[in-house]
Amino acid sequence: MPRKLDPSLTVKDHFAQLVHELYSLGDGRDGSEAWQLQRSRVRGFQECGRLLGLMDLEDVQAIIDAAHLDIFGEARLDRRERIDGIGAKAERGEWDDFDSPAYERYKQKAP
């Protein structure tokens, strides 16, 4: 059952609370139903806030980044690189990214 929103909070405060609750459930890698449900709430609330002009994309991203830093103790992009980056894959023995020759991986794309 959805909880009742506190009327003393602003839309951005409510959004921050929802995002904090989402990250408190983890990062979603386990595929839990609770995380998926909370993510849907976050997405719906942010769409509504943006549609009504009460938040913009910069506000949304700043709130998400702040909640991620608070819960996980590291920046969102830093954590993603640590978990999913090439260095992390190599440490885990996942070499798929290295199957092609280096000159193909690193060649510059023509404009």
Let me know if residue 50 belongs to a domain.
yes
Let me know if residue 1 belongs to a domain.
no
Whether residues 92 and 64 fall in one domain:
no
Evaluate whether 69 touches 75 at the Cβ level (below 8 Å).
yes
Evaluate whether 82 touches 35 at the Cβ level (below 8 Å).
no
Single-letter amino acid, residue 101:
P
pLDDT tens-digit series, residues 21-32? 998 998 877 888
Whether residues 17 and 67 fall in one domain:
yes
What is the DSSP code (8-state) at residue 25?
A: T
Closest CA to 65 of 77, 53, 82, 57: 77
* Gap between the Cα atoms of 32 and 15, Å rounded: 21
Q: Which residue range forms the structural domain that includes residue 109? A: 74-111
Split into its structural domains, the chain has a count of 2
pLDDT tens-digit series, residues 47-105? 999 999 999 999 999 999 999 899 888 887 777 776 666 555 555 555 565 566 666 66
